[in-house]
Each structure stands twice: as structure tokens, then as C-alpha cells.
Structure 1
Amino acid sequence: MKKKKQLWVFFSLLVLFFQSLTAVPAQAADDFLVNANAGFAIDVDSGKILFNQNGDTKLEIASITKIITSYLVLEAVKERKTTWETPVPISAYAEALSAVPELSNVPLYTSQTYTVKDLYDAMVIQSANAAAAALAELLAGSEHAFVDQMRQKVADWGITDATLLNASGLNNMYLGDNRYPGSGLEDENKLSARDVAVIADHLITDYPEFLETSKTTEATFGEGTEAPVALENWNQMLPGGPNFKEGVDGLKTGTTEKAGACFVGTIQKDGRRVITVILNALNQQIDPGARFVETSNLMDYCFNNWHLQEVDLSGQSVPEHDSVPVSEGKKDTVGLVLKSKLPVWVRNDMDLTQYTIQADLNESLLDEGKLIAPVSKNEKIGKATIALAQDDLGYLEPGQAPSTDIVAKSDVDKANAFVLLWQRILAFFN
């Protein structure tokens, strides 16, 4: 992330003015857009996608990259591959990178060592690029090897087409001979807004303690040394910032010439947590806080226009599977019904009565399409998912759509030996 310190006090009134003009009304559910190259939002608990504007296009992400680096650091600490107190030697590459004046950094020196926690805090709070490179070298032996780990991690989450070249998100022009093999002179890391949401979701779900650092507004790097450095969080939506928004506690900004002004944010409100992604806010030249204004609008849109509503499916027959054949039973078929009520995410302009049910019967219970008696009432036979007809956004991960059990409507006892014999004779001749 490039170092462009803002005079926050000066801009605060200007930003508040822009926000007053761009407040999101609840009724603008269907035609709401963000002024950015891409926008994306999810409800964390359910994985429900609440907004998707160009969310599947690969774009430069700049220092948002550091949420992947942060995940791997937290994972390494959890797995005891390192500790927060482990000293980190500084390479000549990291030292030189830390001295580039236009980059966000803390000064690092080969003659000194720093702890993992020192560098992690500098990376998360102030987006220190050389700190990310130094951590990568510690954990993998080289930044190139660390990039391979980054690629494998996101591939594990289903992101198989990521462009990841370094641990910081910098343009390759700053890396010199340390560029990832085969990458171009000015290449950058690229992901889609959806990809960023997936990664952010894994980060704060697996390591919620990340939020304790990402919400820190100020800290000191090298405290107790001869040259301590004040850390300042780039997230202007935190307390004291000109775009402060109650409930925001992360996550990560990103800025390069190619990426523009980017921000993956998260907010906790009314018992819900939402993750938002803004890639290249297009009003940045006029309003230096544009990415935060767009994020605020997107967060308001999510909370004002989406709500959970219960759909009572209990006792309803299963579409295209209202009954299933039964073998060796006193009855030839048994009815199937849905078991319970379901909480469904509904946008204000959507019709809750228009939905489809997708049934998935448990094939392991069937023999040539038939259940084997005895069958008990309310015995689970499969699973059904619901989707609103007007909702084409879906969920972040497969299997997150609301579901209920498909159960047997009644008992079917096993037939006695004489009946079974007669059934087999009939089956033989038929």
C-alpha cells in the first residue's frame, strides 16, 4: 500500500457531506450500485451473498493480499511452527524494501531482529510491506516459497485461478530480482471480490483474534528501543477516523496505481456480522475516503434491505418426491414430507411465497429406488434446500443454503414371512 498520509481532520467534514448525499434508502434494494470496479457482501454466519457487482472479475487487490499472509502467520502460530516471540532475522531484501519512501512501511535493519508479533502488528495495522516479506521469509525460507503456500491455501478454499506473486500486494516493480519466477515486471496480485470475501470469511471465522489487531487504531513498533515508530491504521472507519462507523472492526485496506483504492471491511451490528469488499473506488481522486464511503453505503444497504424470515415447511409434501416405493413392507409406498421451519434471507423487494425446493434423497437408504421396510415415522430420508425464485445471488460456499430434513410421513412395518414370500413370487413372474 502506498504511503499517502491524509489530513483526516480536514477531510472529515467533506466526507460527511458526501455521505449525506449518498445515504442508501431501504427501498433502493434492486437497483443499488457501488461506485467501484467491483463490490461484494456476505452475511458471515450463513454465507448468504447479499450483494454482487462484478464480483467474479479478477482485479488487482494491492495490500488486501495481507489477509492471506495474516492467515498463514496465525496458522503457523497455532500449529506451533513459530511463536509470537520468535525473533525474525531481516534480509537485505526486506531492509531495502522497508526504505522505499513512497511505500507503507516500518524501518527494518539487518543488524536488528524483531519478533513475529512486532512484524505482524506492523503488517496488519500500518500495512507494512517489508514486514510482510520478512514474515514470509521466516515461515517458508523465501518469499517465493511462501507464495506457493499462499496459492495452496486459497486453492484449498476453492480459489484455483488466483494470481499471487508476493506476500505484500506490491507491484513487481518494487521487488527487483525478488520477483516471483515467470512473472512480469509490473505484475500484481489479482483476485475477484468474491475470492476476497471467501478469504476474509475464513480468516475471521478461523482466527477471530485477527479482529483485535485490525481494529487497533494506533500502536508502537519497536517500543522500548532507541527508535520506536508510531503505527497508524489506514482504516478510516475505526474510532477517530473521518469515516467512523459504529461496529466496524476490520479488515484491510489496499492501494496501488493499478488496484486503485480498495477495502475489505467487516461490521458487527444487531447480532449480525457482514463482510464487504470494494475494489477500486472510482471517486478516489475527488474524495480520498471514497472506498470507505462506498463501504459504508454497502453496509447500510445490507442491513436496511435484507432480513431473515421464517418459512414454515413442516408437513409439506416434497416436490416430485411426495412418496417413495417401499419393499418388504405392509405398504407399497410411504409419503415424504418436509420436517421443519427454515430461516431464509429475504430482500425487501422479494416475494417470499415464490420459492423452489430441491430434494436430495439419501441413496444409501434406497435399493433400486426403494426403501427397505421397516420405515419409521419421521425417519430421515434425505435433505431439501430452499431458494427464493427472485434471488440469484446464492451462497458463498456449496451446501450453505438453508435446508431441512425430508422424513417419512408414517410408519411402514415389515411384512410377515408369508406376505414376503408371495411378494417375491409375484416379483419373479412380473
Structure 2
Amino acid sequence: MKKKRSFPLVLVALVLFFQSLIGIPVHAADEFSVNANAGYAIDADSGKVFFNQDGDSPKGIASITKTITAYLVLEAIKQQKISWEQEVPISEYAEQLSTVPELSNVTLVRDQKYTVKDLFEAMIVQSANACAVALAELIAGNEHTFVNQMREQLTEWGIKDATIINASGLSNVYLGEHIYPGTEENDENLMSARDVAIVAQHLIKDFPEILETSKIKEKTFAPNSSQPTEMENWNVMLFDGPNYKEGVDGLKTGTTDLAGACFVGTIQKDGRRVITVILNALNQPNDENARYVETSNLMDYCLNNWSQQDVTVAGQTPTDKKELKVTDGKKKTVALAMEKPVKLWIRNDMDPKNLTIKTTLDHSLLDKNAIIAPVHKNEKIGTVSVALAQDTLGYVQENEGAKTDLVTKSAVEKASTFELIWQKITGIFA
């Protein structure tokens, strides 16, 4: 009897042991959650969404705002409107803001010399709010015009429900007479976790050098000035200690009373990069590093539960469009194929064989849904989109997804005049 009763326990122990070896959490992958108001995670390259917990409703983002500011600074440098070594004039507003004791800052003095690089590093590493303002003023002349540029950039990326009113992410409470026209005293920047992920994806893709700054642990700001400041990155996942995580190299923290403790993080591991978003880690009152705990859990979930696999092969016939009519050809139809194999990110509880395949014909290349002979082999006539039937998470942006070209599988010669006449005759009596 004891042996019979102990067998299930041994079996459970073996299952748990083997799960630990392959890194799969004991709980079901679709039951994972984060202790935060919102959580979101994507593959940085493809935009595949790995996790979405209330990721579509706008919430406070605090200093995560500075990822947008950083993008516009890097864009201005790329366009040679400004340079890294260019000196930045410090306005009275930026100088005063830099001395507010309860805000994250480095002290700025109007008669001191600071370069774009100095202020940029302080904005990312120390989350220096006044530096964000000074850079905004340099690029646009004033912060309000810069905010308009921020909004235009978000619109270009398809972000429509964000509220952006300053370059730093501070509450208007601290900005006095400098608040954006038409906003209220307690207003703050708001974005959804999805939109934060979109910004981070563009920032890392377009300007990967941002990671060289975001992974700086410690540095002295303006060492030759009258008030040098020792900076220490707020991202404790970079440092030795309980929150350290190998592969993490960014990206930006954010904290206000409205937003709570927020963090958009990124990790490079096993040849892949994951972007994670945590908005308002709810255990922050009990653990000052709660945002990093939740980020680490979310990163592990993505890395352990999602893998990329081939789901189709080159030359495979799409199930929803196997052939196409041919006009004036020696054959009446031509078989269709996928030009290249398609890879999908697949969660370990999903069936990689249960696919949704959708072909889209390029009608500019066709005549009444038929292709006119002669037809060449591998002639492109459209696209094929492939997705997992069980996967409802999709991609962070609408224009992303797994696709390949739809091509002709063989050549079809143009029929001779006699053959065309014969086809018409036989067609009449068919």
C-alpha cells in the first residue's frame, strides 16, 4: 500500500525535476501575471507580443517619457542639426528646475559649459529632469514646441491615445508657469504599456547606441564644472546584488505619485532581445525594487516559454490559395507557393501545426484575378501571412507579422494563336 501511494508522489517529483531542467514554469504559461497595473513584453526584432496585461489603456509613465526625448535628440544628431560636443545654453528655467531637492537631477549652472553628450547621459543614467528640458530647448527653441515634435513622432508611429505635455515626465505640479498651454496643474504624461513598448522598439532599432548609455552604471557628470555630480544608474538590474540580471542593458525607469514605480527594460540573451514594460509595480511600498522583481519575472517568462520555430517550408502551397487562373497560357492555371520558410514565436503550450494562413493577391499584377501569360517561375503575385490559431496576442504594431511572398510554382508559356482559338472552341462546347 505504501508503494502504491508513493508512486504518484514520485511521478510528481520527476515531472517537477524535468520541468526545472528545461526551464518551464510549473504554472501554465497562460496563467502568468505581474503584480503591477500593467505589464507588456515583445520581441524587439519582430514586434511579436509575448505578454499583455492591461497593456492598452493609458497610464502614468513618469520619466519613461525620456525615451521619446532621447529619440528626438538622437534623430537631431543623425540629421546634423546638433552634435554630441555642442555646448548647450542653460535657461533660468532649467537651472531652477535642477535644484528642486525632491526631483532626480544633476545641478546645472547657467554660466557653466555642458555638452549635448553630458546632458544626454545625465538624462538617461541619472534621469535628470532639467537636462531633458535643456535638450528640448536646444532642439526646438522651447519645451512646448518640443512637446509638439514629440506628439508628431508618436503619431508617425501610430500612437494615438498618448498624452504628452512635457519632455521630462514630471507632474505639472513642479513646472509652475512653464506648463504646456491648456493643461492642468496635476496633469502628467500618459501612455499605454503597448505604446511604451513601441517607443522602446523604435529607439533600440533606429539608435542601438542608446544601449551604450543606458547600461552605464556610474559616471561623474561635468567633472570640470564648479558642481560635478556623481551619477548612479537607477536601474539596479545592472549592478551586482539580488536584482542583477545578466543580459540586461536598459532602458529607463520612471517614478511619480501618479505613475508609481515604472520600468521599461530590455535584455539580450541567447541571440534574442526582449523588451518589457512594467507600469506601477504594486508591491513598491513593501519593496523598493518591486519594479525590477516584476521585470525579472516577466523576462524569465518570455525567455522560458516562447521559442522561435519554422512552421512552413520554402515552396509550400498555401492552404487557402493553391492555384491561380492563367490568361492566354498553354495551361489554364499555375500552382502557387510560399517563397521562403516562415518562422513564428510559439508559446510552449501552443500547437505549432495549428496555423492560420491568409494569402493576399497584388491585383496590380493581375487581370480579373488571373495572371497573363507568359508566367515566370517564382514570379511574385502577393503575400502570405502566417499566424498561430491559438495566439491572440499578435504584434505590437499593425504592420508587423510573419509574412512571405506568394510566388508562382512553375512557368507557363504563352499559348500560340492556334492554341488560343482551340481553347475558345473547346470552351464553348465544354
In the superposition, the TM-score normalised over structure 2's length comes to 0.91
Give, in whole Å, the separation in 1 of the partners of 2:310 and 2:130.
50
1:306, distance to aligned residue in structure 2 (A): 0.3
1:185 aligned residue? 185
Native 8 Å contact 1:27 1:305 kept in 2: no
Paired residue secondary structure (1:212)? helix
How far apart, CA to CA, are the structure 2 residues paired with 1:156 and 1:241? 40
Which residue of structure 2 lines up, in the alignment, with residue 281 of structure 1? 281
Counterpart of 2:36, as a letter, is A
CA apart distance, 1:241? 5.0
Tell me the SS of whatever aligns to 1:367: coil
1:294 alignment partner, SS class: helix
CA distance in 2: counterparts of 1:424 and 1:142, whole angstroms: 73
- 2:52 maps to a residue whose letter is N
> Residues 77, 428 of structure 1: CA spacing in aligned structure 2 closer, same or farther, 3 A cutoff?
farther
Q: Is the 8 A contact 2:113 2:225 kept in 1?
A: no
d(CA) in 2 for partners of 1:339, 1:103: 55
Aligned to 1:378: 378
Counterpart of 1:324 in structure 2 is 324
How far the C-alpha of 1:103 sits from its partner, in A, is: 0.3
Q: In structure 2, do the counterparts of structure 1 residues 227 and 349 end up closer, same or farther at CA, with 3 Å as the change threshold?
A: same
Q: Answer yes or no: is 1:165 the counterpart of 2:149.
A: no
SS at match of 1:398: coil
Q: Which residues of 2 match residues 281-320 of structure 1 at below 5 A?
A: 281-320=281-320
1:365 maps to what in 2?
365
Equivalence for 1:7: none
The answer for the alignment partner of 2:42 in structure 1 is 42
Answering whether residue 35 of structure 2 is matched by residue 31 of structure 1, we say no
CA contact (8 A) 1:284 1:291 kept: yes
* Equivalent residue number for residue 390 of structure 2: 390
Q: Which whole-Å CA distance do the structure 1 matches of 2:152 and 2:286 have between them? A: 39
CA contact (8 A) 1:26 1:301 kept: no
Gaps spanning 5+ residues in structure 2: where? 1-22
Describe the SS at the equivalent of 2:30. coil
Alignment partner, residue 11 of structure 1: none
Deviations 1:244-303 (A, max 9, x none): 100000000000000000000000001111000000000000010000000000000000
Equivalent residue number for residue 111 of structure 1: 111
Separation (CA, whole Å) in 2 of partners of 1:399 and 1:150: 21
How far apart, in 2, do the equivalents of 1:148 and 1:241 lie?
41
Query: 2:68 maps to what in 1?
Result: 68
AA aligned opposite 1:200: A
* Matched residue, 2:338: 338
Equivalent residue of 1:383, what SS?
A: strand
**Partner AA of 1:299 in structure 2:** M
- Counterpart-to-counterpart distance in 1, 2:172 and 2:429: 76
Match of 1:268 in 2: 268
Q: Distance in 2 between matches of 1:419 and 1:319?
A: 31
- Report the alpha carbon displacement of residue 109 of structure 1 after superposing the two structures with TM: 1.9
Deviation at 1:233, TM superposition (A): 0.5
Corresponding residue for residue 80 of structure 1: 80
Q: Which amino acid aligns with 2:40?
A: F
Deviates more, 1:110-119 or 1:130-139: 110-119
Deviation at 1:361, TM superposition (A): 1.4
Q: Which structure 2 residues correspond to residues 83-102 of structure 1 after superposition, within 5 A? A: 83-102=83-102
Structure 1 residue runs of 5 or longer lacking an equivalent are 1-22
More displaced 10-residue stretch of structure 1: 338-347 or 314-323: 314-323
Residue equivalent to 1:214: 214
Does residue 127 (structure 1) correspond to residue 124 (structure 2)? The answer is: no
Check 1:229–1:242 CA distance in 2 against 1; reply closer, same or farther (3 A cut). farther
Q: Cα distance, 1:423 vs. partner?
A: 5.2
CA distance in 2, matches of 1:253, 1:85: 26
Q: What secondary structure does 2:64 align onto?
A: helix
Structure 1 residue matching 2:114: 3-state secondary structure:
strand
